[in-house]
Amino acid sequence: MQNKKHMEDFDLFVKRSLQDAEMDVPPRVWKAIESKLDAAAAPSKGFRWAWVAVAAAAALAAVIIIPSTQNNSKLPFNTEERIALASPIQEIEIRQIPSPRTIKIQTRLQEEKPETDTKQRVQENAGTTAQKAETTAQNAETTAPSTETTEKQNKAELPPKQQYTVATEEAFAGIEDDEVKSKREVTRLSAYVNSSIGGNETAAKGAATASASNPSYIENDIKENSASNYSIPLSFGAGVRIHLSDKLAIGTGIDFSFLSRSFTGLYSPIGEIPVVGDIRHDMQYIGIPVSIFYNIYNGKGFRFYIHGLGEAEWCVGNSYTMRATGQTVSEKIAGTQFSLGAGIGVEFRLSKMLGIYIDPSARYYFDAAHPNNVRSERPFMGNFNTGLRFNF
């Protein structure tokens, strides 16, 4: 009892003696603090990289899309446009050839061209019409068997202008065939659902503790005492792909990514009881990818392609769970995570509308000054993306 009293007196004496003690602080301490505050206030490295990423993605898109557009401009995409560019003489000549294809094209012309224009053109060519009508009658007789041989013979016998007309028709027929073929093989729009896993190893281990490039958030209250065990990142997404030609497509959509790691640390928040032990750190991201695809081989049952991708992601969840107590603390994380990637892919057609695809790729994640995660630890990662694609 007496001993306890002595102990309490001793404790009280020590507390009163030391709790308000003060010591002189050398000036260098404030200078060091000032420089740390200045460093924290400076724009983050990740921000500058973000603009580099955007510029690189834009440049990549321009390099791929512009040459492709120039090639397409040499030949109008659909038949109507091609006819509209044809000369009036060709149109009149087409009328004089009584083939089913000509009738079809003629009908389109009548729908598109003002009647006055047609009349005018007919008058302008009145001098030659009678002669052509005669030739056409002969043609009608000779083309009755409708064989390829007789058509060629007729073509040879026709005057130069009429030969040109027939050639034009054949050209149109070819174009029409191409278009039908194109419609069969090129899908204008497709939608996809996908999932992907990324990471260089199944259970990556990273260096411990927050680095200077990842300024503190809750990290101020958490001290990492061990290396982190990173889980493989998982992503799920959906989106659309727009086919600019039979070779080229661009795509966008929305992705949800889940990152997780665990480490041993001390959580000691201000005004709360400190906790030590295993801590799980979970982060969720929502992202908008922009992709470019280029078909290398388009076979009957599958196609093989290369693709490039840029993505902007925003952290929508960031939480630390103390396993010992089950306590979870979370906070908002600002800043955009940019990434660029490229890879190859193969799509197997399961049916006319449905395909399954596999896209292995490599991707670089720029520093976003977010809390430590597998992307900040290993910014260059391999991804394995697979999903279903619905073609419309």
The DSSP letter of residue 371 is S
- 122 is a contact residue toward another protein (CB under 8 A): no
Q: In the stretch 284-323, what mask flags binding to another protein with x, by CB under 8 A?
A: ----------------------------------------
Distance (Å, rounded) from C-alpha 303 to C-alpha 371?
40
Size of the site for another protein (CB under 8 A): 46
**Secondary structure letter of residue 63 according to DSSP:** H
Q: Is the dihedral of CA 103, 108, 111, 117 positive or negative?
A: negative
Reported as half-sphere exposure (CB side, CA atoms, 13 A), residue 381 has a value of 25
Using an 8 Å Cβ cutoff, are 245 and 186 in contact?
A: yes
The single residue among 71, 200, 216, 328 that binds another protein, judged by CB under 8 A, is: 216
Q: 77: which 2 tokens? A: 């995409």
Angle CA 234–343–318, to nearest 5: 25
**Residue 288, token pair as written in the block:** 């908008």
- Residue closer to another protein by CB (options 26, 160) is 26
- Binding residue (CB under 8 A) for another protein from 169, 221, 311, 367: 221
Sites for another protein among residues 272-291 (CB under 8 A): 273-277
Q: Which of these segments, 127-135, 269-277, 287-295, 375-383, binds another protein (CB under 8 A)?
A: 269-277
Sign of torsion over alpha carbons 363, 368, 369, 370 = negative
| Residues of this chain, 29-68, that bind another protein according to CB under 8 A | 29-30, 32-34, 36-37, 40-41
Give the residue among 30, 375, 356 at the shortest CA–CA distance from 200: 375
Nearest residue (CB) to another protein, 7 versus 59: 7
CB 233 within 8 A of CB 259: yes
Q: Which of 108, 223, 280, 349 binds another protein (CB under 8 A)?
A: 223
Q: Is 363 helix (H, G, I), strand (E, B) or coil?
A: strand
From 10-18, 73-81, 178-186, 235-243, give the range in contact with another protein by CB under 8 A: 10-18
CB of 196 to another protein, least distance (A): 35
Residues at the contact surface with another protein, assessed by CB under 8 A: 2-3, 6-7, 9-11, 13-15, 17-26, 28-30, 32-34, 36-37, 40-41, 216, 220-221, 223, 225, 266, 268-271, 273-277, 324
